[in-house]
Structure 1
Amino acid sequence: MITLKTVKQKKNDLIFTISGFIVAILVNVLFPQKADVTFKIYTLNILNLRIAFDINSAYIVVLVALILIYAISGIRSSFQKDKRKLYAKNAPFRFALGIALAIWDIGGTKLQIFAQPFFPGPAQIIEAYLAEGSYIIQNTLYSIRLYLAGFSCGVLLGVGTGILIGWFPKVYYWVFPVLKITGVVPAVAWMPFALTLFPTSFSAAVFLIVICAWFQIAFLTAQGIQSTPKQSYEAATVLGGGQINQILHVAIPHAMPDIFTGIGSANAMAFTTLVMSEMLGQPGGLGYYINQSKVWSAYYKVLAAIVIMAVLFSFINFLIGLIRKRVLRWQQGVIKV
C-alpha cells in the first residue's frame, strides 16, 4: 500500500537525484567565463535540419539528457519496491556527480585553474565526440571485437581447464604447476613472444587476453570442483549417476559461484590487458586512440576515450551480473548481496 509518506519520500529522492545536475546547468549558465576558451561551433543534420551549436551548448544538452534519464528512471522505479530502494540508495551519489561536474566545469573551463591541457573541462571532452565521433566509434568497435574474441576464448579455456584440474588428480599433478607459474606473470610480458608466434597483431592480442583470463577462471573453477562435498557425489551414485553425470550435475553446479567469481576478476584483468595491448601494437582500438591523441597532446581526446572505457567496462560488468543472477538465482535470499 502506497502511503502519503511514501509518495513524499519518492518525490524527495527524485528531486535530490536531479538537483545536482540542475546546479551544474546553473553554474554553466550563470558563472562568468574568465578563461580564454574557444567554443567551436559544429553543425548536426537531424531530419534534414541543420542545427548549429557550440561545445558548451552540447554540454548543457548532455546535462538535460541526464536529468530526463534519471527523472524517468525515478518515476518507473516508484512502481517496484526493490527498484525504489535502489534508486533512493543511489540518489546521494548522483547528486554528488552533478556537483562534481559543476566544480569540474569551473576549474576546467570557466577559470581553467586545473593544469592545462591535461585536465580540460567537460565541454572540451564532448568536443572530441563531435569532432571525431565516427573515428571514436570505429576504434570502440575494434576494442569490443578484440575483447569478445579474447575473453570468450579465455572463459571457455579457463572453465574447461579448471574442471579437468579439479576432477582428475593426474591432470592436477601436471597442469596445476604450469598454471601457477604462468598465472603470476603479467600477460603483457608475453607480448614479444606473442608477436613472434602469431601471424597478426590481432591474434597476438587475443592470446594475451586469453592468458590473463585463463589463470583466474581455471584456478577458481578447480577450487570450486574440489570443494564439492563427498556426500553430494555419494547421493548421485546412489541415484545411478555415473562420472559424467556427477561432473555435469553435481560438481559444475556447485562450482558455479567460484566460476563467476573468477570471470568477474578475469574481466577486469582482461580489460586492462586489452587497452595495454592496443597501446603497444594494435592498428585500432581505444588504447590506440589514446596513444595517438597523447602524441599530439590532445588530452581532451584521451579523457573522452577513458569515459567510453568506463561506460563499456561498467556495461560488461552489468551483463555478467545479469547472467550470474540468472544462473545463481537459487542464491537469492540465501546470501547477502
Structure 2
Amino acid sequence: LAIHLLFSKRAPAVETHSYTLFFYEIVGVSIVLSIAQRFWMPLRSWMRHMRPILTATILLLGLWDIVTFGFQLLPMPYFPGPAAVLRNLINDRALLLDSTWHSLALLLSGYAAGVLLGLISGICIGWSTPVRYWGMPLLKIVGPIPATAWIPLAMVVSPSAVVSAGGLIALAVWFPVTMLTASGISNTRASYLDVARTLGAGRAYLIFRVAIPAAVPSIFIGLFMGLGASFLTLVVAESVGVKSGLGWYVSWAQGWAEYGKVYAALIIMAAFFSTIMTLLFKVRDRVLVWQQGVIKW
C-alpha cells in the first residue's frame, strides 16, 4: 500500500482509486482475521499455513507496481500496472461474467462428453483383447495429435463454432481418459478376478464390480490430465471462432491492444480453472477415501 501511494503521487493523472481502495480492504480484512484467529483455532491454523503464500502475493504485487507503474521498466501497453488491470476487471465485470459463464458451459459439456467416451472406449480396450488389438493402434496414431491441430477440419465439418469447440475439448479429454482407464482395467489383479469367478460372477459383475473399482485410481489420473488439456483447448478454440467466452475475450482485447483487459481475463481464468481443479480433487478424495495417507498428489 505504501509503495502504491508513493508512486500515485508521482503520477496523479492516472486513475488508481480502485486499486488503493482494494489495498485498504486487504488491510481491514487482515486486521479482522488477526483478531478472529485468537478465538478460533481452525482459522489460526489456516492463517499459519497460508501466511507465506499471502506474504509472497503481496510482495509480488508491490514488485509489479514498481516495475510497471513506478519506474516503467517494462514496455507499455504490453505490461500495464496492477491498478490498470483491476480497473479493467471492475469496468468490464458484466462482460467478463458473461464470458465466464459461456466458457463454463462449453468446458463442462465438452469435458463430460470426452469423459463418457473415454470411459467407454477405455473399458472396452482394457477388457477385450480383440478391441485392444484394433483400438491401441488408433490411440497411438490419433491420440498424440493435439486437439487444437484439428481446428481447421472441425470448423469445416461442424455446423457451428460452438459445436466444433465442444468437440475439440471432448477429443482432448478422450485420449488421456481412454489410455489411463484401459491401463487400469488391464492391470486389475488376476487374483481378484479369479476369486469373483469362483464365486460365480459373470462378465458384467467382473467389469463393473471388480475391474472398474480397481481401476479408479488410474481413471482419476486420466481425468486430471484430461482436465488440463481441456483448459488449453477451450482457450484456443474460443479464440478462433466462438463469439463469447474467456478465450474470445482475450483475443478481442488483444486486437484492440487493451492489455489491461487481457491480464484481467487471465486472472479470471486462473481463478476459474483453479476452482474446477480443486473441486475435482475434492471428488477424488471422497471417492478414494480408502487411499488417504497413501497418495500424495
> TM-score, normalised on structure 2?
0.92
| 1:55 and 1:124 in contact (8 A); partners too | no
In the alignment, the residues of structure 1 paired with residue 242 and residue 9 of structure 2 have an alpha-carbon distance, to the nearest angstrom, of 40
2:175 corresponds to 1:175:
no
Alpha-carbon shift at residue 160 of structure 1 (Å): 1.2
Q: What residue in structure 1 maps to residue 184 of structure 2? A: 224
Q: 1:316 to 1:65 in 2, by over 3 A?
A: farther
Q: 1:104 to 1:162 in 2, by over 3 A?
A: same
> What is the one-letter code of the residue matched to 2:61?
L
The equivalent position to 1:154 in structure 2, one of 114, 118, 127, is 114
Q: What residue in structure 2 maps to residue 130 of structure 1? A: 90
Q: Cα deviation per residue 1:255-279 (whole Å; 9 max; x = unaligned)?
A: 1111110111111111000000111
Q: 1:72 to 1:336 in 2, by over 3 A?
A: farther
Q: 1:336 to 1:138 in 2, by over 3 A?
A: closer
**Partner SS for 1:199:** coil
2:152 corresponds to 1:189:
no
In the alignment, the residues of structure 1 paired with residue 166 and residue 37 of structure 2 have an alpha-carbon distance, to the nearest angstrom, of 41
Alpha-carbon shift at residue 178 of structure 1 (Å): 1.0
Alpha-carbon shift at residue 75 of structure 1 (Å): 6.5
Equivalenced residues, count? 297
Q: Cα deviation per residue 1:181-208 (whole Å; 9 max; x = unaligned)?
A: 1111111111121112111100000110
In the alignment, the residues of structure 1 paired with residue 231 and residue 169 of structure 2 have an alpha-carbon distance, to the nearest angstrom, of 8
> What is the one-letter code of the residue matched to 1:165?
I
Q: What residue in structure 2 maps to residue 63 of structure 1? A: 26
| 2:77 and 2:259 in contact (8 A); partners too | yes
In the alignment, the residues of structure 2 paired with residue 269 and residue 107 of structure 1 have an alpha-carbon distance, to the nearest angstrom, of 33
Q: What residue in structure 2 maps to residue 47 of structure 1? A: none
| 2:8 and 2:14 in contact (8 A); partners too | no
> What is the one-letter code of the residue matched to 1:28?
H
| 2:253 and 2:261 in contact (8 A); partners too | yes
Q: 1:300 to 1:174 in 2, by over 3 A?
A: same
Q: What residue in structure 1 maps to residue 230 of structure 2? A: 270
In the alignment, the residues of structure 2 paired with residue 163 and residue 228 of structure 1 have an alpha-carbon distance, to the nearest angstrom, of 12
Q: 1:181 to 1:212 in 2, by over 3 A?
A: same
Alpha-carbon shift at residue 73 of structure 1 (Å): 9.2
In the alignment, the residues of structure 1 paired with residue 115 and residue 263 of structure 2 have an alpha-carbon distance, to the nearest angstrom, of 30
2:252 corresponds to 1:289:
no
Q: What residue in structure 2 maps to residue 34 of structure 1? A: 10
Alpha-carbon shift at residue 248 of structure 1 (Å): 1.0
In the alignment, the residues of structure 1 paired with residue 252 and residue 289 of structure 2 have an alpha-carbon distance, to the nearest angstrom, of 45
Q: 1:312 to 1:126 in 2, by over 3 A?
A: same
Q: What residue in structure 2 maps to residue 15 of structure 1? A: none
Q: 1:274 to 1:62 in 2, by over 3 A?
A: farther
Structure 1 residue ranges without an equivalent (≥5): 1-24, 41-53
> What is the one-letter code of the residue matched to 1:257?
P
Q: 1:295 to 1:70 in 2, by over 3 A?
A: farther
Counting aligned pairs with the same residue, the percent is 36
| 2:177 and 2:223 in contact (8 A); partners too | yes
Q: What residue in structure 1 maps to residue 280 of structure 2? A: 320
In the alignment, the residues of structure 2 paired with residue 317 and residue 213 of structure 1 have an alpha-carbon distance, to the nearest angstrom, of 14
2:63 corresponds to 1:103:
yes
> TM-score, normalised on structure 1?
0.82
| 2:68 and 2:80 in contact (8 A); partners too | yes
Structure 2 residue ranges without an equivalent (≥5): none
The equivalent position to 2:259 in structure 1, one of 299, 317, 323, is 299
Q: 1:309 to 1:66 in 2, by over 3 A?
A: farther
| 1:278 and 1:288 in contact (8 A); partners too | yes
Q: Cα deviation per residue 1:139-180 (whole Å; 9 max; x = unaligned)?
A: 111111110110111111111110110001111111221111
| 2:88 and 2:260 in contact (8 A); partners too | yes
Q: What residue in structure 2 maps to residue 121 of structure 1? A: 81
Alpha-carbon shift at residue 31 of structure 1 (Å): 4.9
Q: 1:102 to 1:132 in 2, by over 3 A?
A: same
Alpha-carbon shift at residue 33 of structure 1 (Å): 3.5
In the alignment, the residues of structure 2 paired with residue 282 and residue 223 of structure 1 have an alpha-carbon distance, to the nearest angstrom, of 35
> What is the one-letter code of the residue matched to 2:26?
L
Q: Cα deviation per residue 1:79-114 (whole Å; 9 max; x = unaligned)?
A: 38xx93x65344212211111111112222233222
Alpha-carbon shift at residue 68 of structure 1 (Å): 6.7
Deviates more, 1:319-328 or 1:233-242: 233-242
